[in-house]
């Protein structure tokens, strides 16, 4: 392992004094224990694809890079389980599993994303509709606590005994509760065929009707996406070739004469609707309110005269919206306020995932979060001295 003082590096614009690159769980433990003893604030960096998400750390002394923690620890193909080191890029995991005809059913919205980073922010793509989210696929985890102690939870079988699920707790915690070093996942067979069935729609109401038609049909899509630029609904079906061909034909007939089926995904499939430096927003709602949320987004864009691009999983009620990074921060604040009102009406939430510093200083990126007091108490138990990613998460956790 190397720990280089003055090596540079920053997280969300905050510079670090040193960078450590441990190559084993034991070395990670040593780094974290040393940081705790010296009162140093530590942030983990994997592929660096989401380091501008959430809030900048309130203080930062040391970056712990996971680039030395890569590869499969174990692949039990017969049990459909794999144990993977946290610094492993998702694409590398898929390549390692492909010869066995298996996959980790997680999409890669940002190329280069690692396993640990994906779990830390609980990022799931279009196929969450069929396969579930990170929390659903994660069956075991190894975490280094803020005091350097190595903790393990879950196991290497899909069904575990009841108990405290540490994996579900650290998934989506943005590295504020522990350093994820290894993850055990349930796997799925690699489908032999797939088809993307797309249809252009005139607006949110027509999109809503198309979504309802697909959800009401017996075609079992792996994903059901909507994109507002241009307004399109796309369903993905996967499986054996004959079955996929039949289901794709049924979908095309259901969606009308303008529907097309293709083996290749449509432009932007599984990608966030923003570029680096832009404003990226996550919107959630009840499934029955997706059409309403699309309408509200369109009205908001017109009201504030901004190019608000929305794309996401209409089949699960998780959408993403993007604004150009040069948008006036005051206008962004107005857009976010309107979108929050719309998501609240749809029993959901609106979170600003990434934004330029001028916007972050003007907008409450997290908004109201239920259970914040409980989350603070959990943080105090896991990291009482605020060693890990201080201030990055909800409420300055």
The mean pLDDT value for 142-166 works out to 80
Instruction: Please give the pLDDT value at position 9.
Output: 86
What are the tokens at 384? 């009482």
Instruction: Please give the pLDDT value at position 62.
Output: 97
Cα Dmax for the chain: 67
Report the mean per-residue pLDDT for the chain. Answer: 94
Q: How far is CA 320 from CA 207, 228, 394, in A?
A: 16, 11, 19
The mean pLDDT value for 257-266 works out to 96
pLDDT beyond 60 at 161:
no
Q: How far is CA 287 from CA 85, 134, 281, 294, in A?
A: 35, 19, 18, 12
More confident residue, 159 or 306: 306
pLDDT beyond 70 at 4:
no
What are the tokens at 195? 């088809």
The mean pLDDT value for 197-205 works out to 96
* DSSP helix/strand/coil, 318: strand
Cα distance between residue 11 and residue 52, in whole Å: 7
Q: Domains of the chain, with CATH numbers? A: 1-190+370-397 (3.30.465.10), 193-262 (3.30.70.100), 279-360 (3.30.70.260)
pLDDT beyond 50 at 298:
yes
The mean pLDDT value for 354-372 works out to 94
Quote the strand ranges of 211-369, DSSP E: 223-228, 231-239, 260-262, 279-284, 309-313, 318-323, 350-354
pLDDT beyond 80 at 149:
yes
Cβ(116)–Cβ(87) below 8 Å:
yes
Digit-coded pLDDT (tens) for 64-75 = 999 999 999 999
Instruction: Please give the pLDDT value at position 165.
Output: 85
The mean pLDDT value for 196-224 works out to 96
pLDDT beyond 70 at 256:
yes
């Amino acid at each position: 392992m190397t720990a280089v003082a003055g090596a540079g590096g920053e997280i969300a614009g905050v510079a670090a004094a040193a960078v450590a690159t441990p190559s084993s769980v034991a070395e990670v433990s040593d780094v974290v224990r040393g940081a705790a003893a010296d009162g140093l604030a530590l942030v983990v960096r994997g592929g660096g694809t989401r380091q501008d998400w959430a809030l900048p750390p309130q203080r930062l002394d040391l970056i712990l890079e996971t680039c030395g923690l890569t590869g499969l620890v174990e692949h039990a193909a017969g049990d459909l389980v794999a144990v993977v080191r946290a610094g492993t890029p998702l694409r590398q995991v898929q390549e390692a599993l492909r010869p066995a005809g298996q996959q980790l059913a997680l999409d890669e919205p940002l190329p280069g994303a690692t396993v640990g980073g994906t779990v830390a922010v609980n990022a799931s793509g279009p196929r969450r509709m069929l396969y579930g989210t990170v929390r659903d696929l994660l069956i075991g985890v190894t975490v280094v606590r803020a005091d350097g102690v190595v903790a393990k939870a879950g196991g290497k079988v899909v069904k575990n005994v009841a108990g405290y699920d540490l994996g579900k707790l650290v998934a989506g915690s943005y590295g504020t509760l522990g350093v994820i070093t290894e993850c055990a996942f349930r796997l799925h067979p690699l489908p032999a065929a797939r088809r993307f069935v797309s249809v252009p729609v005139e607006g949110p109401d027509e999109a809503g009707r198309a979504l309802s038609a697909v959800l009401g049909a017996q075609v079992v899509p792996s994903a059901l996406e909507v994109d507002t630029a241009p307004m399109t609904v796309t369903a993905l079906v996967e499986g054996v070739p004959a079955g996929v061909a039949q289901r794709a034909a049924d979908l095309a007939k259901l969606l009308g004469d303008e529907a097309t089926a293709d083996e290749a995904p449509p432009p932007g499939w599984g990608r966030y609707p923003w570029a680096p430096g832009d404003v990226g927003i996550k919107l959630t709602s009840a499934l029955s309110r997706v059409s309403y949320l699309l309408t509200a987004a369109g009205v908001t864009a017109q009201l504030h005269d901004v190019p608000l691009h929305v794309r996401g999983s209409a089949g699960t009620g998780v959408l993403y919206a993007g604004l150009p990074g040069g948008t006036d921060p005051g206008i962004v604040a107005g857009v976010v306020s309107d979108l929050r009102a719309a998501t609240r009406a749809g029993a959901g939430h609106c979170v600003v995932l990434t934004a330029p510093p001028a916007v972050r200083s003007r907008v409450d990126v997290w908004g109201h979060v239920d259970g914040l007091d409980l989350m603070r108490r959990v943080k105090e138990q896991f990291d009482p001295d605020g060693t890990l990613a201080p201030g990055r998460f909800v409420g300055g956790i």
